[in-house]
Amino acid sequence: MPEGHSVHRIARQFAANFTGSPVAVSSPQGRFAQGAAQLDGHSIVQSRAVGKQLFLEFDHGLWLRVHLGMYGAWDFAGDISVGSAPDAERTGTVVGAHEDSPWSIGAPRRTRLRMAESEKLEPELETWPPEPVGQVRVRLLTETACADLRGPTACEVLTIEEVDRAIAKLGPDPLVDDPAEGEERFTAVVRRKPTPIALLLMDQSVVSGIGNVYRAELLFRARLDPFRPGREVPEETVRGLWRDWVHLLRIGVETGHMLTIDDLDEEGRRRAIASRDDRHWVYHRAGEPCRVCGTPIAMTELGGRKLYWCPADQS
């Protein structure tokens, strides 16, 4: 499932390549034909990410809301910006590029870039506009750029009042809300809930953007028992979870990867970029030895998702 960093990166792609020009909106699949007709011919004036949801504002006051869910993805094509991550380059957060990384190729380039949980650069285009691939729910097309949406959980046209109501239901997002205010909201909610902290971190009304990967990694980095009720977690630990989420989300947005192991050496960074198996402490490592204590990593189902943790370090 795409997590918060991916949606913020998608919003940046729209801001860089789609705002200000008339957009031809269609539904090659046919399931979004009525909604597409409401937006067709209008310009995108704003792209916003809040947690796992994307909101695109059009110049006549209507918005497109998209939630990618478990399997959704955006395919961008055309003269799109795929050559740099400016914020990361300035701050030094970039951990390196590899041959499949969008950041290894100059921009702009008439190509195809798939953006979901991860990002994959495809071969250069031979025709324009490109033929839709798979079941495309909605296509957004300008003279120079194309975005195809496939497999979303939600794709709908909203008014600004409906957008405000949708956002009001979401917990704080460190890249949208004031981080200090977000910390207070998050801490207050968690500290009064009897729900296990592992479930609270996945509840988008508690905090926006955290999915299964970040959930497991945040809990391990805090050495926190996933099953401990939120109201029993010490306040400073709850605040530490929020601050670590701020830190990891920024890295994810800047690099395009969910990198949750800090202080890697050069070789470790190369491995982490090349393989997800070398990016995380516990996620997707059931049965493998803990990187800290050697205890086999445990896995169980919680809230319909797989939860990974170290029984020794998180006891």
Q: In Å, what is the CA distance from 90 to each residue of 86, 254, 257, 266?
A: 6, 10, 17, 19
Angle at the Cα of 96 from the Cα atoms of 87 and 114, rounded to 5 degrees: 75
HSE value, Cβ hemisphere, 13 Å, CA-based, for 153 = 10
Burial class (CB in 10 A: 0-12, 13-18, 19+), 284: middle
Name beta bridge partners: 63: 57, 158
Report the sign of the C-alpha dihedral through residues 163, 166, 172, 173, in that order: negative
Q: Which residues are catalytic?
A: 2-3, 52, 305
* One-letter amino acid of 215: R
The residue written with tokens 């957009």 in the block is: 23
The residue written with tokens 């890249």 in the block is: 175
Query: Contact at 8 Å (CB) between 44 and 56?
Result: yes
Peptide bond before 129: cis, by omega within 30 degrees of 0?
A: yes
Query: Contact at 8 Å (CB) between 175 and 87?
Result: no
Strands (E), 221-289: none
